[in-house]
A and B are shown apart, each in its own frame.
Chain A
Amino acid sequence: MLNYKKIFSLKPFELNQKDKESWFLNNQIKLSTYHYKKCEQYRKISNRIFKNINNCRASHELPFLHVKSFKRFNLKSVKSNQLSKMLESSGTSNQIASRINIDRRTSLLQSKALLSIFSDIIKKKITFFFLEKPTSLSQLKVLSAKYAAIRGFSQLSLESSYMLDNENNLQLDKLYNFLDKYPQEKFVIFGFTGQIWSQLIEKLKKKKIQISKNNGILIHGGGWKKLQNQSVDRDFFNKNINNILGIKKIYNYYGMVEQTGSVFLECQYGFFHTSVFSEIYIRDHNLNLASDREKGLIQILSLLPLSYPGHNILTEDLGLIIGSDDCKCGRKGKYFLVAGRVPGTEKRGCSDVNE
């Protein structure tokens, strides 16, 4: 099994790509072998599509699952009675959601990794404000991607509160109280990118509210898809956060519910960074590795998933690797950009659903 003690003793962004590769491969081989033994579906796909795990000389050769597999199959690598939670992707109405089986061990690893990745930003536990409707997380058996993220960040919080009521109205009293009491204190607002815009910024704008400069931190993730057609880009978004929320420190991350915890943090230069817990590959139209700066399908690897075979996933997101080790922000490892979702293919053939 993996030596998680060792893994968590590493600083998340200080490993050179070259040093990382054989170490990461070693861990991925162990993890892949573990899932191969424990999960029938992963074993089948490994045997039928990929080469033998032990013959893999680089992490990109290892068997991966297409992200759609989590929509069609109930994938798990532990016995059902060990599972504690189900995470669900936020698929749109006519899409089937991904279902991710979590046990306590995996859940713990996810929290610890998140803590580690954000350790430079959040050095000690602080107050969190979640842009979401209130819920009792511990009682939910099935968590949406949003609540999964909130649950993760809750581990970093001293105190936390929700910024929406059950009717999606903004509830800012607690934030105002906090700012009145501790104007110099750090705090975090967390939400999904699209919601931060529509539920917070736009509503405040409408009410002509501007919060004065403060020491807050905004963390957001979930992608820009909803904002694209409103032509809200990163710069415009950040400028508005500065002006309306009075917050200077803004951190976006890229992550998937299939790999909760080992998220990819965006640096001040606008690039997403791999950490010791994760790796990224970009695949071209022949499934070969794309060159740097060439757009292709994003494949992400994580060292965290134990209860389900989500350690190596081909996503339906498009992205491009910019380089490794040499980002101006100083973080080591690969850094990349995300370029939206791969479009669907044209439907062809005789069989249809008579649309």
Chain B
Amino acid sequence: MNKIKLVLGKLTFPNKAYQIFGINTINFLNKVSQDILKNKKYSKYSDLISFAFYIRKKNLIKISKKYQNKDRIMGRGIAYHIPPSNVPLNFAYSLVFGLLSGNNNIVRLPSKNFIQIKILCKIFYKFLKKKKYLEFYKRICLIKYDRSDEISSELSKKADVRLIWGGDETISQFKKYSTSPRCIDLNFADRYSISIINLNKLSKISDNNLKNIANRFYNDSYIMDQKGCSSPQAVIWVGSDKKKIKEKFYDTLSEIAKKKYDNDLPVTNNKIASLSMAAIKSEVDFVSSYKNFNLVRIKLKKISKDIEKIHPHFGTFVEININSISLIDKIISKKLQTISYYGIDKKKIYNLILKCGTLGVDRVVPIGRALDMNIEWDGYDIIRTLSRIIGN
């Protein structure tokens, strides 16, 4: 039988929950943040640094302001976190949400030994053994185990809330385990994301600004090989077709990728393989082209919701040109998670979403912010879903 390996803490918890955004929690997380930021060795891990900034006291207080009734909102009990195996720090954000919402936490760490995870565990350990942070020693349990129905099902029984990251397959696996009647699941399913760019605006900006936008777009897409659920797979150009400005954008992007993206032989092999599979499988017709294979453009022959089915990753962008932003309802579907935009009024996008009543679109952010983790994710206010409000 598989065994649970305790990395930190214990699997037994005090039978209680805590107020959301408790000051102890904020102070504790701030301590962790400071410890990461003061160590110069960690500065090369950009994801760790972003995480440290996210859990700074200043930022957490700012986030907490949104919750007017926090004096009568508290955790649900035990949160069981199942993060994806491929994103190093997803587990850390999940845990932070669990703490901020006033819960005790069981976190199954990814099987892969990411260095960022090791660093964080070390820091947690350092603080948790101190008497001052005894509360958090009791509220945090980090574990590892090889895939096991027995263990997952046992832990599911304990949980008052489960955060199931890792997509459709993981979710359907966990739906098989029985949970307590009041247990709530946050399911983070397979999603699809796009960028919307105003062509007219893009054609009027300076080369430097264009480079800046391309750079931000690069960060959203190429990091994580375009496999993050919020990495844009498609570019929706809005406005009358301007071939030259599109070329310029892609050329700039390709130049950036040439410098920063390691498209070695394994990546190239996987990319041509997935592009080939898409070409064979796709119901909608398309033509692909590239100047440099680090950036492949896929032009759809007609507007279709099926764009969500074409996502070869590794720097491959499906593109459609629409004359007016109001036509996006012909593209968006239930599966769409993040719209990242440039040169378009955010309010206009919200209005359109409400007007067309789509079941998709859970997030609208400027280009460059697509991968930023947030408590509003996949349509959930994670803090509120993980917590219990005492009515009045």
Contact B86 A347 (CB under 8 A): yes
Contact B277 A350 (CB under 8 A): no
Per-residue 0/1 for A225-267: is the Cβ within 8 Å of any B Cβ (1 yes, 0 no)? 0000000000000000000000000000000000000000000
Q: In chain B, what residue has the closest Cβ to A344?
A: B266
A345 interface residue (CB < 8 Å to B): yes
The size bracket of the interface on B is 35 or more
Contact A349 B279 (CB under 8 A): no
Q: In chain B, what residue has the closest Cβ to A41?
A: B280
List residues of B (76-95) whose CB comes within 8 Å of A's CBs.
82, 84-87, 90
A318 to B286, CA, bound (A): 30
Contact A48 B286 (CB under 8 A): yes
Q: Which of the segments B2-10, B59-67, B225-233, B384-392 contacts the partner chain?
A: B225-233
Min distance, Cβ B164 to any Cβ of chain A, angstroms: 9
A322 interface residue (CB < 8 Å to B): no
Per-residue 0/1 for A339-351: is the Cβ within 8 Å of any B Cβ (1 yes, 0 no)? 0001111111111
Contact A350 B87 (CB under 8 A): yes
Contact B229 A354 (CB under 8 A): no
**B266 touches which of A49, A69, A288, A342 (Cβ 8 Å):** A342
Min distance, Cβ A77 to any Cβ of chain B, angstroms: 14
Knowing A48-B288, A68-B277, the reply to whether A352 touches B267 (Cβ < 8 A) is: no
Q: In chain A, what residue has the closest Cβ to B90?
A: A350
**A285 touches which of B90, B263, B285 (Cβ 8 Å):** B263
**B268 touches which of A286, A351, A352 (Cβ 8 Å):** A286
A191 to B232, CA, bound (A): 49
Contact B280 A69 (CB under 8 A): yes
A285 to B87, CA, bound (A): 25
A65 interface residue (CB < 8 Å to B): yes
Knowing A286-B292, A314-B272, A342-B265, the reply to whether A349 touches B170 (Cβ < 8 A) is: no
Contact A352 B279 (CB under 8 A): no
Min distance, Cβ B285 to any Cβ of chain A, angstroms: 7
Contact A45 B280 (CB under 8 A): yes
Contact B147 A355 (CB under 8 A): yes
Min distance, Cβ B111 to any Cβ of chain A, angstroms: 6
**B87 touches which of A66, A314, A345, A348 (Cβ 8 Å):** A348
Contact B147 A350 (CB under 8 A): no
Per-residue 0/1 for A314-355: is the Cβ within 8 Å of any B Cβ (1 yes, 0 no)? 101010000000000000000000000011111111111111
B269 interface residue (CB < 8 Å to A): yes
A297 interface residue (CB < 8 Å to B): yes
**B86 touches which of A68, A287, A352 (Cβ 8 Å):** A352
Contact B268 A285 (CB under 8 A): yes
Contact B268 A297 (CB under 8 A): yes
A178 interface residue (CB < 8 Å to B): no
Q: In chain A, what residue has the closest Cβ to B313?
A: A349
Residues of A near any B CB (own CB < 8 A)? 41, 44-45, 47-49, 65-66, 68-69, 72-73, 283-288, 295-297, 314, 316, 318, 342-355
